[in-house]
Amino acid sequence: MLDTLYYKNPYIKEFTSKVISCQPGKNGYEVVLEDTAFYPEGGGQPGDTGSLNENIEVIDTKERDGRILHICKEAIAEGTVVTGKLDWQRRFRHMQQHTGEHILSGIIHQKYGYDNVGFHMGKDFVSVDFNGMLTPEQVAEIEECANEAVFSDQEIRVTYPSSEELKNLNYRSKKELTGQVRIVEVAGSDICACCGTHVKRTGEVGLIKVTRSEHYKGGIRLYLQIGWSALEDYAQKLAGVQKVSVLLSAKPELIGEAVERMQGIVADQKQEILLLKQQLMQYQIKELPEGERLAVFLKDDPSSLRPFCEQLLEKREMAVVLTGDDGAGYKFVLGKKDGVMQEETKQFREACAAKGGGKGNMIQGSASACSDKIIRFLEDEWGFVTVKDGK
């Protein structure tokens, strides 16, 4: 495995090889080649994608029982000589991200002794888990050190030390290793046993940015944007900031303050609307006809039903306040000065196809009967006067 093309030279984008076998598998045809530059999924790094002979798509690469399987959409005959072509853009990003993760993990290990206990290289972000906690200030300092390592363009060396040499080497490793160990050394930052693909010099990694962090199993999970992904992330976020900046007529660097101001205005307006609603309710109630039993259909949100019903009950024996329409149904609050009886609740539910309940002198819920039917019931059976739209 250690002399496959992607280890000999991780920068190979195109190569020629011969098909050894091709078997149908779960996700496509599993093609094995004599040699390959396609990196199989492993060590947190996704498998490569690309094509064989231009027209056969390689949708994933995996390793099974020491063989590298190119998962292809179509079968290829054994013995066929193929030109393999990697989706280089994608692979180079993986190399940037993988190397960036080494730099960051190495620095954290050196400074705080924490181990990288989980690594995920996804389409949208990279996340790394450490078995110890870091403060935001420490994270900021680590980020600065990591970028210093990038800007100073250090060499990254891959070596295969003997077991004797390994004994004297202080390196990070996620598990107990047997056989030949592959050591990846980022000068000044990290020495780690790793099977992934990496760039030659730290300068190629590009920006290493921690975008957020969270507690994770007694330690910390850091979310990262690295290299090309960091540039894209910056562009996407900048576009968002610029849009908000235009909408708020505020400079990009002052949008936080502008949003705070706007939240203050919204809160004031909410308060004002509440007061106006209360006043409106008083006017509406003044205009309503006399009568001990009154039903009112409101054109308002359901939250106003209860206070409206409470107001009506101050001078009446019984009241129903509803809002909605025949299509979507009605929300209602039904109240009675001396308490809504079980029997009345049952009658209303049956006659108006209503659901809901409550305690004391009010019940509330929704009714799916049409307004005509509700009105007929209230007027004919309970002797109500009905008012529509609160007028």
Mark residues 325-344: x for contact with Zn ion by CB under 5 A, - for none: --------------------
- Stretch of residues binding Zn ion (CB under 5 A), selected from 187-195, 205-213, 271-279, 330-338: 187-195
Q: How far apart are CA 187 and CA 191, in angstroms?
A: 8
- Stretch of residues binding Zn ion (CB under 5 A), selected from 91-99, 234-242, 289-297, 349-357: 91-99
Shortest distance, CB of residue 44 to Zn ion, whole angstroms? 8
Shortest distance, CB of residue 204 to Zn ion, whole angstroms? 14
Residue (4 or 368) nearer to Zn ion, CB: 4
Shortest distance, CB of residue 78 to Zn ion, whole angstroms? 33
Residue (25 or 43) nearer to Zn ion, CB: 43
Shortest distance, CB of residue 138 to Zn ion, whole angstroms? 23
Tokens of 211: 């975008």
Shortest distance, CB of residue 221 to Zn ion, whole angstroms? 19
Contacts to Zn ion from residues 92-111, by CB under 5 A? 98
Please name every residue paired with 319 in a beta bridge, in sequence order, or none if there are none.
Answer: 294, 335
Query: Backbone dihedral region of 164: left (phi > 0), alpha (psi from -120 to 50 degrees) or beta?
Result: alpha
Shortest distance, CB of residue 96 to Zn ion, whole angstroms? 12
Shortest distance, CB of residue 77 to Zn ion, whole angstroms? 36
Give phi and psi for 92, each to the nearest 5.
Answer: -65, -35
Residue (98 or 172) nearer to Zn ion, CB: 98
Tokens of 235: 């562009």
**What is the full DSSP assignment across 125-194?**
-EEEEESS---HHHHHHHHHHHHHHHHTT-BEEEE---HHHHHT---B-SS---SSPPEEEETTTEEEE-
Residue (31 or 184) nearer to Zn ion, CB: 184
Residue (160 or 234) nearer to Zn ion, CB: 160
Interaction of residue 194 with Zn ion, rule CB under 5 A: yes
Residue (47 or 196) nearer to Zn ion, CB: 196
- Stretch of residues binding Zn ion (CB under 5 A), selected from 33-41, 161-169, 195-203, 378-386: 195-203
Please name every residue paired with 18 in a beta bridge, in sequence order, or none if there are none.
Answer: 81
Strands (E), 263-374: 293-298, 318-325, 329-336, 354-357, 362-367
Q: How far apart are CA 1 and CA 42, in angstroms?
A: 13
Q: How many residues bind Zn ion (CB under 5 A)?
A: 3
Around Cβ 268, how many Cβ atoms within 10 Å? Answer: 10
Cα–Cα distances in angstroms (integers) from residue 194 to residues 40, 164, 348, 371, in the given order: 13, 18, 72, 72
Shortest distance, CB of residue 32 to Zn ion, whole angstroms? 24
CA-wise closest residue to 320 among 355, 363, 288, 274: 363
Q: Is 178 exposed, middle or buried (0-12, 13-18, 19+ CB in 10 A)?
A: exposed
Residue (58 or 194) nearer to Zn ion, CB: 194
Residue nearest to Zn ion (CB): 194
Q: Where does this chain bind Zn ion (CB under 5 A)?
A: 98, 194, 196
